[in-house]
Homo-oligomer: A and B are copies of this chain.
Amino acid sequence: MIKRRGTLFVVSAPSGAGKTTLCREMRLRLHELAYSVSVTTRAPRPGEIDGSDFRFVSEGDFRAMLARGEMAEWATVHSNLYGTPAKPLEAALRDGRDVLLDIDTQGAAQLRARYPDAVLIFVVAPSMAELEQRLRERRSDPEKEIGRRLERAREEISLWRRYDYLIVNRDVKEAMEQLESIIQAERCRVARLALTFPDLEVPN
């Protein structure tokens, strides 16, 4: 039996657009999805668990990993470093598992360059006003931080054309269905199946 190569799904969004919730819920819905625990130098937020939400490391440890070439992508966001370890990611894809990553725009561009067949998905709130309201409701950020996040959101949103898919997150249920549709549809793409079944007339 030929083993299908997994597909890398990368979800980016301005903070407040709902990306973290979407990805967490999708992993609960599609248990077969592999994911990568990102490494970060930022401080844990209340409720975040080390090794599950993120792997929290010092800047020194992060830079040592980078130097050893252990990051599939990395980026600086709000003065903190974030990275995705390459080895577990590539092992999952080789093993035929689809991987869902929740990555900022800088990281997504690096992943696209390293894995050209990755599927890039951008999630936006229905409007800037809605995005601002969601950031305020989150209450975890001070006022100054909200302004910075909104400014950064505008920059990120301008990059939406570099993505394969756009999800306008009006409502979590609808956005979840769109994300799941994208994953299921990509599994039916002839361009991917033809790599797996190069010599077969009928893939079965």
Contacts and interface: CB of A to CB of B under 8 A. Distances in A.
Total copies of the chain: 2
A158 B193 CA distance: 14
A185 B119 CA distance: 12
Nearest to A127: B204
A65 interface: no
Given A163-B190, A165-B190, A127 B181 contact: no
A50 B196 CA distance: 43
Contacts of A161: 190, 194
Interface string A165-184: 11110000000011011111
Interface of A: 121-122, 124, 126-128, 154, 157-158, 160-161, 163-168, 177-178, 180-191, 193-194, 201-204
26 contacts: A121-B188, A122-B190, A124-B204, A126-B204, A154-B201, A157-B201, A157-B202, A160-B202, A161-B190, A161-B194, A165-B185, A165-B189, A165-B190, A166-B188, A166-B203, A168-B203, A168-B204, A177-B184, A178-B184, A178-B185, A180-B181, A181-B182, A181-B183, A181-B184, A181-B185, A184-B185
